[in-house]
Amino acid sequence: MSVEAPARPVTPPPPPSGLSAGRRVAGLLLRWWRRLTAMRTAIILLFLLALAAVPGSLLPQRSLSQNNVRQYFTDHPDLAPVLDDLYLFDVFSSPWFAAIYLLLFLSLIGCVLPRAAEHLRSLRTPPPPAPRNLLRLPDSGRLESPLAPAAALDVVEEELRVRRFRVVRREGGTSSAGSSGRAPEVSAEKGYLKESGNLLFHLSLLALLLGLAGGKMWGYEGSILVTEGQGFCNAFQQYDTYSSGPLVDSGDLSSMCVDLDQFRAEYEENLTASSFTADIRYGDPQGEERKTTIGVNEPLRIDGDRVYVTGHGFSPTFSVTLPDGTAFTDVSTPFLPADQRTLASEGALKLPDLGADEDDQLALEGFFAPTGLMQGGVLTSVDPRPLAPQVAIIAYRGYLGLDSGLPQSVYSLDRSQIERGRLTEVGAANLSVGESLDLPDGTRVTFTGYKEFAALQYSHDPGQLWVLAAAIALLGGLLGLLLLRRERVFARAEPAPGRSGTVLTLASLTRGGGESGSRFTALSDELQGALTTAAPGTAPSDPEVPPRD
């Protein structure tokens, strides 16, 4: 799709009046198609795609952070709904983004396929005859030689072949216009690969867009926090959050379960995290189980699916002993890091099944510090490593509202239950490992330690390899397209007027690469040299090359 593409007639001649409506519509469609597939349209669409992406980077996007979008709604209550109507919080899945994308796609197809056909044809046809007036080409000049015209042209032909031109010699004669005495000439061409690179580039761009779209349609992604000793299976209802393409059938998810054995985080002296690794077991629930270790930059890849560690944190563990002696040992839940640097974390452990009564539920809400430090009566964390774990918890008794039908976060309490008085505070304490909080009813809550949890992500993108291959091909095509040049050289040999010898007219036509003038000068100097050596016994004549640039 280089820009010197032969100009297509933009508008076909208007259909004579009186044609059937059908023909007229067809004509109109054809005209639209031609306009859509013009090179310029493709560039404009590409530009539009870039422009359309801009609001997606300046406004918060749901695909990146639901929270930021919610924040934007509270900060700009008037503006946000208007923007939302324009899909400006979902730019990359908006209809107008898709429209540009689809049009670009069509435009590329219409642009590239005919070019590819034309290129295939031109690969099989010899270089065209020399134009009548060679001195009109951008680079041209004259060379002289004492050799006879045919012999001089032999030398030129040989030199061009050595330079890997494809050369055709035409002996002139009386062929073309019937006028006798047209001089013999050669036409040479090289650099077909440039056009091949061009086509490869644009076809790969198409393939890349296809792969991207396919991945979006059939891909899915689920995230879940898994505490050491626990696991999950690949099913949407198990994930904390998931997203999936419109063509994904939840029954078709690959059957795979993953268990987290152990998680390790390592730190430099200055507390920069140096590595996160998770030892996992995975496999088809019916099949055998394998072990592996995954980490940052090193996901597990199996049959087109991938499992990543995207974060980590702590799940404090508690034992709860009821007045009647029933004990729940080492119950835990992930506390979400509120500060990535110190891993100070917040969370809530919900225990709905303590007693028979609905109002007999217990919840512990609080703060976990891997390395706790009391500062002015408030617990803070000073180190992401669990050197001195402590919790600050508040215990609530009452009804959690879990089965009320309203969804609530797993990681925090439903505040409205507290406001309504259905959950009441029954105790609070700061605990180190082994310490307990006794509630008024005799229930004892003991902080028994912690486990690490890993944020795991399960991803499936069937378009991924396809996109990678397309991207590599695109780069290859780009290199060919930019670095190679396509060059045509013509030479015509005429007898020197009034003496023996030949005057050669030489001209070249270059596409790409610039610098055509100096290259032409170099070429004609070399040809002159070759002509001189080929003519024995003659003193080297002055090269007379007026490079006309």
Partner 1 sequence: MTDPSLAELSNTLFSVSVALYSVALVAFCAELAFGRRRERAQERVGAAAGTGGGGVALADRPAGTVETASSNRWGAIALGVTVIGALAHAGVLLTRGLAADRLPWGNMYEFATAVVLVAVVAFVGFAVRSPNLRHIGVFVLAPVILGLVAIGLGLYTEAAPVVAALRSYWLAIHVTAAILGFGIFMVSGIASVLYLVRSRPGADSGTGFVSRLPSAAALDQLAHRTAVFGFPIWTFAVIAGAIWAEAAWGRFWGWDPKETWSFVAWVVYAAYLHARTTAGWRGRPAAWVNVVGLVVMIFNLTFVNLVSTGLHSYAGVE
505, 135 contact by CB (below 8 A): yes
447, 324 contact by CB (below 8 A): no
Does residue number 50 form part of the binding site for partner 1 (CB under 8 A)? yes
Stretch that binds partner 1, among 13-21, 42-50, 163-171, 408-416 (CB under 8 A): 42-50
72, 80 contact by CB (below 8 A): yes
Residues touching partner 1, count (CB under 8 A): 56
What residues between 524 and 543 interact with partner 1 by CB under 8 A? Answer: none
Q: Which member of 73, 92, 192, 411 binds partner 1 (CB under 8 A)?
A: 92
Does residue number 479 form part of the binding site for partner 1 (CB under 8 A)? yes
Q: Which member of 290, 329, 475, 529 binds partner 1 (CB under 8 A)?
A: 475
Q: How far is the CB of 16 from partner 1 (least distance, A)?
A: 33
Q: Which member of 273, 373, 382, 410 binds partner 1 (CB under 8 A)?
A: 273
Distance, in Å, from the CA atom of 6 to the CA atom of 4, rounded to the nearest integer, reads 6
Q: Which member of 274, 404, 424, 533 binds partner 1 (CB under 8 A)?
A: 274
Does residue number 276 form part of the binding site for partner 1 (CB under 8 A)? yes
Q: Which member of 109, 394, 433, 471 binds partner 1 (CB under 8 A)?
A: 471
Q: How far is the CB of 393 from partner 1 (least distance, A)?
A: 31
Strands 423-432 and 390-398: what pairing? antiparallel
| Identity of the residue, 150 or 472, whose beta carbon is nearer to partner 1 in the bound complex | 472
Q: Which member of 129, 131, 299, 449 binds partner 1 (CB under 8 A)?
A: 299
Q: Which residues pair with 265 in a beta bridge?
A: 276
What residues between 197 and 216 interact with partner 1 by CB under 8 A? Answer: 212
Q: Which residues pair with 291 in a beta bridge?
A: 281
Stretch that binds partner 1, among 15-23, 303-311, 401-409, 497-505 (CB under 8 A): 303-311
Residue window 309-348: x/- pattern of binding to partner 1, with contact defined by CB under 8 A: -x--------------------------------------
Q: Which member of 3, 10, 356, 539 binds partner 1 (CB under 8 A)?
A: 3
Q: Which member of 26, 64, 86, 387 binds partner 1 (CB under 8 A)?
A: 64
Q: Which member of 49, 83, 151, 426 binds partner 1 (CB under 8 A)?
A: 49
Which SS3 state, helix, strand or coil, does residue 287 take?
Answer: coil
Q: What are the backbone angles phi and psi of residue 292, rounded to the nearest 5°? A: -160, 175
Residue window 487-516: x/- pattern of binding to partner 1, with contact defined by CB under 8 A: ---------------------------xx-
Does residue number 241 form part of the binding site for partner 1 (CB under 8 A)? no
The tokens for 194 are 């440039």
Residues near 110 by beta carbon (within 8 Å), at least 6 away in sequence: 33, 36, 37
The tokens for 383 are 């180190």
Does residue number 19 form part of the binding site for partner 1 (CB under 8 A)? no
Q: Which member of 78, 85, 249, 269 binds partner 1 (CB under 8 A)?
A: 269
Distance, in Å, from the CA atom of 359 to the CA atom of 389, rounded to the nearest integer, reads 31
Distance, in Å, from the CA atom of 163 to the CA atom of 320, rounded to the nearest integer, reads 87
Q: What are the backbone angles phi and psi of residue 483, rounded to the nearest 5°? A: -95, -25
| Identity of the residue, 1 or 156, whose beta carbon is nearer to partner 1 in the bound complex | 1
Coarse DSSP helix, strand, coil percentages of the chain, rounded to the nearest 5 percent: 35, 35, 35
Distance, in Å, from the CA atom of 25 to the CA atom of 116, rounded to the nearest integer, reads 28
Q: How far is the CB of 407 from partner 1 (least distance, A)?
A: 25
Could you tell me which of 504, 429, 412, 470 has the C-alpha nearest to residue 186?
A: 504
| Identity of the residue, 408 or 464, whose beta carbon is nearer to partner 1 in the bound complex | 464
Distance, in Å, from the CA atom of 205 to the CA atom of 203, rounded to the nearest integer, reads 5
Q: How far is the CB of 346 from partner 1 (least distance, A)?
A: 21
Q: Which member of 302, 394, 478, 496 binds partner 1 (CB under 8 A)?
A: 478
392, 374 contact by CB (below 8 A): no
What residues between 110 and 169 interact with partner 1 by CB under 8 A? Answer: none
* Rg of the chain (C-alpha set): 38
Distance, in Å, from the CA atom of 523 to the CA atom of 441, rounded to the nearest integer, reads 101
Does residue number 9 form part of the binding site for partner 1 (CB under 8 A)? no
Strand order in the sheet with 423-432: 336-339, 344-351, 361-369, 390-398, 423-432
Residue whose token pair is 């530009």: 47
Stretch that binds partner 1, among 80-88, 149-157, 251-259, 291-299 (CB under 8 A): 291-299
Distance, in Å, from the CA atom of 7 to the CA atom of 30, rounded to the nearest integer, reads 16
Does residue number 61 form part of the binding site for partner 1 (CB under 8 A)? yes
Does residue number 95 form part of the binding site for partner 1 (CB under 8 A)? no
Does residue number 449 form part of the binding site for partner 1 (CB under 8 A)? no
> Cα angle vertex 341, ends 336, 343, to 5°?
30
- For 164, left (φ over 0), alpha (ψ -120 to 50), or beta? left
The residues binding partner 1 (CB under 8 A) are 2-4, 40, 43, 46-47, 49-51, 53-54, 56-58, 61, 63-64, 68, 91-92, 212, 221, 268-270, 272-276, 295-299, 306, 308, 310, 457, 459, 461, 464, 467-468, 471-472, 474-475, 478-479, 482, 514-515, 517-518
